[in-house]
Amino acid sequence: MIRDFFLWMSGSALGMAMRDHKAAFPAAEMVHLIGLGLLLGAMLLFNARFFGLGMKRQTTAELAADFAPWVRLALLIMVASGVFLFAAKAGDLWEHQLATYSTKMGLIAVAVVFHYAVQVPLARAGNLGWGKAGAAVSLALWFGAATTGLSLEFL
């Protein structure tokens, strides 16, 4: 069933268009990387506050509120551009890179849930003690997902 979805996506009009038009994949990848930079930048700044690095005039609750729209925008950019990238490479991902792709998507899912279920509540509570541990986990998840995603280009 999952295999069928990957192969269907690869053979879809979107998948074929992404592969047939020379500039389509690089353009989608550029947008995806802009979203990644925005997301990782926001996560780095947000989590740095838990370690006492910068932005000390704002509470963690204020930072969580300030960064929320940027995180949502970055996630939206990455999901939207990710659909185009996935469509272009779905067949290849299934055949050669399924484990790496699954790891990337799993890390992203855990990172998103962790951010909203753990990090944001810790920030709102101003809990800097547990916040440091949460920040370390959050950064490891996001940078792990980014690194795994980039490795798909080179494996």
What span, in angstroms and rounded, lies between the C-alpha atoms of 87 and 31?
15
> What interhelical angle do 60-96 and 2-11 show, nearest 10?
90
Q: What domain count does the chain have?
A: 1
pLDDT, residue 155, reads 58
Task: For the chain, list residues with pLDDT below 70.
Answer: 155
Quote the domain boundaries for residue 25: 2-151
pLDDT of 115 reads: 93
- The torsion defined by the Cα of 20, 26, 32 and 37, in degrees rounded to 10, comes to 170
Whole-number pLDDT of residue 104: 93
pLDDT of residue 63: 86
